[in-house]
Amino acid sequence: TYTNLKGDCLVAAGTIAYLGPFTPMYRKKIVDYWRAKLGTVGSSLPNSDDVSLQSVLANPVQIRSWNILGLPTDNHSCENAIIMSTARRWPLLIDPQQQANRFIRNMGKDKTLSEGGMEIIKLTDPNFLRSLENGIRFGKWILLENILEKLDASLNTLLEKQLFKEGGALMIRIGDNNVPWNDAFKFFMTTKLPNPHYPPEICVKVSLLNFTITPKGLEDQLLGVVISKEAPELERKKTELVVSNAKMKEELQNIEDMILKLLDESKGNVLDDVALIETLAKAKQTSFEIQTKVAEAET
């Protein structure tokens, strides 16, 4: 509800900013602690009982498309993907099982990606800075693999996004060269180390995300595999409902936008505007029907 909006957004923002490196159980423990603390503040920051990053920011259709591209189906991995897509800092993924690496590679192959494509590099490559420059210049995605516990100092300007203007164009300095900035550029880093220790000066420059599989995450992934094999009809129905729900919610949003537009454009007494009254009545009925269908489908 709108009453809980501030508290829910604060919990989601805190999860993005601070909880990336932690396991699912510890994330839940911290979120529960935050909720308890928010409850002691008073009525100024109320929050939902089941608030989580997914309840605030998840787009079911987007998550389904990520799953198709190889994102594991467990809640922890979905949370990590949401953080990757919303955090300001470039992601550094702790990925000993290489699940995140495969997911990013598949996103790079996806036909919806801009023409720049994706390049996979390592710090040990002799021309890795040249590849990075080309990625920034032409809007490529760059995946930097197999990093250890130290990062090359030449990456600092990129990690800190030290952009500046030159001749009216945004630029960034990489090594000894000034490179034109392309907004289509994206940068990912992965490590195979199972339990790396990154010093604070690195942690504050990246969005550190833990993709290590835990027993609970493995349970969620196995459940998804079992359902798809043993009850394919149920899995198909779930997929259809995800798409259907998204369409109905979009239609509901369009109705709300239309009502606001009509009210804004209405002249004189609103009660005398017959067309507006009829539209509102029709919109209310349609809205009620869609809300009922959405509630049934989610159940």
- Each of the 299 residues of the chain gets a pLDDT tens digit; together they read 567 888 899 999 999 999 999 998 999 999 999 988 887 755 567 788 888 899 899 888 788 888 888 888 888 999 999 999 999 999 999 999 999 999 999 888 865 444 568 889 998 888 889 999 999 998 889 999 999 998 888 899 999 999 999 888 999 999 888 999 999 899 999 999 988 999 999 999 999 999 998 888 788 888 888 988 998 888 788 778 777 777 777 777 788 888 888 888 877 777 777 777 887 787 778 778 777 877 777 67
Quickly count: other Cβ atoms within 10 Å of residue 298's Cβ. 10
What is the C-alpha radius of gyration for the chain, rounded to an integer number of angstroms? 23
User: How open is the CA angle 208-212-218, to the nearest 5 degrees?
Assistant: 140
pTM: 0.78
Give residue 41's pLDDT.
Answer: 58
Give residue 43's pLDDT.
Answer: 53
Number of H helices, E strands in the chain: 12, 8
Token pair 């990129």 is at which residue? 158
